[in-house]
């Protein structure tokens, strides 16, 4: 989300509303008139009197250029600043422009005698009307958002502005369920808008579940922003990593929820990757027989997959052996959080993105393969496009089979039957979930080839794309026998038969495929790295 530039006629509320917006977002605020006053050491009326309007406009251009270089800033401009072409170009390039519009009657009432307004001296009403007539078309031409402040208090204008901003700055993907549904909001720098979502639902006390590093990067600033919305935040910290998906960690979250006095009017915010989303979601689903959950995924894997669909679980003898379906009220995927994501974790998220494309959208597969370089460079428009398109695939599949009762959702298991076993054999150390799924997809694509379901050239292309993304495509050496044993515990095994979801041709899936264990064993052994 870019800077927010507030424009409008004098007394429209630019400073008051701008300050309130900045407070809600946890951003900085600057007023270009104030910057000029500090630079010159004189009030605006004195600058006009001593140096004239042309000199004031020169100073204004300087401070507008300075303000536009800032990040995460709400910039309130003097009423005449947008009239200058240079100012308009600079402001448009660096921010979303909000025009606060007020009618003449409201403006004159707020101005009073207008003694400190050099442009209105001698005839405030007449001059104001004339200036409005000249300026309003310019404001309208520049504005991305227009909000009428004539009859609204500052708080109402602030909420309306942020609501309009949220609609503009986020791509919202609906998850349409039989009983209600929710939206996945994808944006760049939009995490502070979570507060708007909470207060619009009447939620004013939340538990923010995250781990210490994410608290430092994003959690503490989010808590400050939420407090300015009137939301009481109770942080709950869990260690990073798969080992936190345990009954012990779950019990600690329950204790913290009780201590924070979170009741059924409160909510759990899961700020983190798939582990945080799973364990915090399970806690929300079972505490007080279920309270509101908001997923705030901060890894690519969680943004494209794990935070969507309502699956929550902890591990026992096998991965995700104990869990429940519990849909969030919303998912807020802010791709700016991926800026601090380690490269390995980014690649792991790509594994799930490649999986979605491989089973559901051949065109997306082509686009993803061609965009790997931009993803690696953290190009935010590319990341936002990647997350939104993958979220749409996951949302459509979830909507068709919310609780895995019809079999449609099984297509998402491509790569996971073998992948989960690889993770478990490694003790959830040394190989990440995304890497394990990449191995699983490579081997399961070969199973599809040997069954005559998957074109050999498509399996080759899948492996090449995974390798270009920096992901493994072969089983770790020495693990084949252990993986085969572990696969027998997979929840997709029924009546002793191995059931796989496989890729047909690129962009198509085949679910519920019964595979002879001997065939699977042959592929696993053939595609295992040799031991040194």
CB neighbour list of residue 203: distance below 8 Å, 6 or more residues apart: 231, 265, 266, 267, 292
Does residue 245 have an active-site annotation? no
Does residue 403 have an active-site annotation? no
Q: Which of 38, 113, 179, 289 is catalytic?
A: 289
Does residue 521 have an active-site annotation? no
Q: Which of 14, 389, 420, 510 is catalytic?
A: 420
Does residue 394 have an active-site annotation? yes
Using CA atoms, how far residue 169 sits from 1, 145, 147, 164, in Å, is: 6, 11, 16, 9
Does residue 133 have an active-site annotation? no
Q: Which of 347, 433, 486, 510 is catalytic?
A: 433
Q: Give dist(CA 253, CA 234) in Å, integer.
A: 11
Distance between start and end Cα atoms, the chain: 50
Does residue 404 have an active-site annotation? yes
Does residue 413 have an active-site annotation? yes
Does residue 416 have an active-site annotation? yes
Per residue, what are the HEC states of 160-197?
HHHHHHHHHHCEEEEEECCCCEEEEEEECCCHHHHHHH
Q: Which of 416, 463, 486, 499 is catalytic?
A: 416
Q: Give dist(CA 496, CA 515) in Å, integer.
A: 11
Does residue 201 have an active-site annotation? no
Per residue, what are the HEC states of 219-267?
HHHHHHHHHHCCCEEEEEECCCCHHHCCHHHHHHHHHHHHHCCCCCCCE
User: Within 13 Å and on the Cβ side, how many CA atoms surround 18?
Assistant: 28
Percentages helix, strand, coil for the chain (3-state, rounded to 5) are 55, 15, 25
CB neighbour list of residue 500: distance below 8 Å, 6 or more residues apart: 413, 417, 444, 447, 492, 513, 514, 515, 520
Q: Which of 170, 185, 389, 409 is catalytic?
A: 409
Q: Give dist(CA 18, CA 146) in Å, integer.
A: 14
Using CA atoms, how far residue 130 sits from 133, 283, 341, in Å, is: 5, 61, 54
Which residue, among 250, 293, 309, has the nearest Cα to 275 in the 3D structure?
250
Q: Which of 169, 242, 345, 352 is catalytic?
A: 352
Does residue 65 have an active-site annotation? no
Query: Are residues 324 and 314 in contact, defined by beta-carbon separation less than 8 angstroms?
Result: no
Q: Give dist(CA 278, CA 323) in Å, integer.
A: 9
Which residue, among 26, 30, 100, has the nearest Cα to 65 in the 3D structure?
30
How far is C-alpha 417 from the geometric centre of its chain's CA atoms?
28
Q: Which of 159, 170, 319, 394 is catalytic?
A: 394
Q: Which of 14, 311, 355, 356 is catalytic?
A: 311
C-beta neighbour count of 528 within 10 angstroms:
19
Q: Which of 160, 404, 521, 529 is catalytic?
A: 404
Going across the sheet that includes 330-334, the strands are 171-176, 181-187, 330-334, 292-297, 267-272, 205-210, 232-237
Q: Give dist(CA 436, CA 101) in Å, integer.
A: 55
CB neighbour list of residue 271: distance below 8 Å, 6 or more residues apart: 208, 209, 210, 214, 218, 219, 222, 296, 298
Residues in the chain: 532
Catalytic center residues: 289, 311, 352, 394, 404, 409, 413, 416, 420, 433
């Amino acid at each position: 989300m870019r800077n927010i530039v507030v424009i409008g006629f004098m007394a429209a509320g630019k400073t008051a509303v701008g300050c309130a917006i900045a407070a809600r977002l946890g951003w900085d605020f600057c007023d270009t008139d104030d910057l000029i006053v500090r630079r010159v050491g004189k009030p605006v009326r004195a600058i006009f009197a001593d140096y004239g309007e042309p000199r004031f406009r020169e100073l204004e251009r300087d401070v507008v250029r300075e303000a536009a270089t800032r990040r995460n800033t709400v910039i309130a401009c003097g009423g005449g600043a947008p009239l200058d072409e240079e100012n308009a170009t600079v402001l448009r390039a660096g921010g979303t422009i909000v025009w606060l519009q007020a009618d003449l009657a409201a403006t004159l009432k707020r101005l009073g005698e207008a003694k400190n307004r050099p442009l209105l001296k001698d005839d405030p009403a007449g001059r104001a009307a004339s200036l409005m007539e000249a300026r309003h078309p310019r404001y309208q031409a520049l504005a991305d958002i227009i909000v009428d402040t004539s009859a609204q208090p500052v708080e109402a204008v602030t909420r309306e502005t942020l609501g309009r901003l949220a609609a503009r700055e986020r791509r919202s993907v609906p998850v349409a369920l039989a009983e209600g549904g929710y939206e996945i909001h994808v944006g760049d720098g939009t995490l502070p808008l979570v507060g708007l979502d909470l207060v619009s639902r009447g939620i004013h006390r939340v538990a923010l579940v995250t781990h210490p590093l994410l608290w430092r990067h994003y959690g503490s600033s989010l808590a400050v922003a939420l407090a300015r919305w009137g939301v009481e935040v109770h942080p709950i910290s869990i260690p990073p990593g798969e080992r936190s998906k345990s009954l012990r960690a779950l019990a600690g979250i329950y204790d913290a929820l009780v201590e924070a006095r979170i009741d059924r009017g409160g909510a759990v915010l899961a700020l983190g990757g798939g582990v945080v989303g799973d364990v915090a979601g399970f806690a929300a689903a079972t505490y007080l027989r279920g309270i509101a959950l908001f997923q705030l995924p901060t890894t690519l894997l969680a943004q494209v997959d794990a935070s969507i669909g309502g699956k929550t679980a902890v591990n026992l003898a096998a991965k995700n052996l104990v869990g429940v379906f519990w849909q969030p009220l919303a998912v807020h995927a802010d791709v700016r959080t991926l800026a601090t994501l380690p490269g390995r974790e980014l690649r792991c998220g790509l594994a799930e993105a490649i999986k979605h494309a491989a089973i559901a959208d051949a065109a997306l597969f082509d686009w993803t393969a061609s965009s790997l370089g931009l993803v690696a460079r953290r190009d935010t428009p590319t990341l936002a496009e990647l997350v939104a398109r993958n979220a749409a695939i996951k949302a459509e599949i979830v909507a068709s089979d919310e609780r895995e009762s019809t079999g449609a959702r099984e297509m998402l298991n491509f790569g996971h039957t073998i992948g989960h076993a690889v993770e478990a054999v490694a003790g959830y150390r040394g190989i990440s979930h995304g890497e394990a799924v990449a191995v699983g997809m490579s081997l399961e694509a070969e199973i599809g080839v040997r069954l005559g379901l998957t074109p050999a050239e498509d399996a080759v292309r899948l492996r090449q794309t995974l390798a270009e993304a920096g992901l493994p495509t072969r089983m770790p050496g020495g693990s084949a026998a252990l993986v085969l044993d572990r696969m027998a515990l997979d929840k997709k095994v029924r009546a002793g038969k191995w059931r796989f979801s496989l890729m047909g041709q690129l962009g198509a899936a085949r679910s519920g495929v019964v595979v002879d264990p001997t065939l699977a064993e042959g592929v696993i052994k053939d595609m295992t790295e040799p031991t040194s």
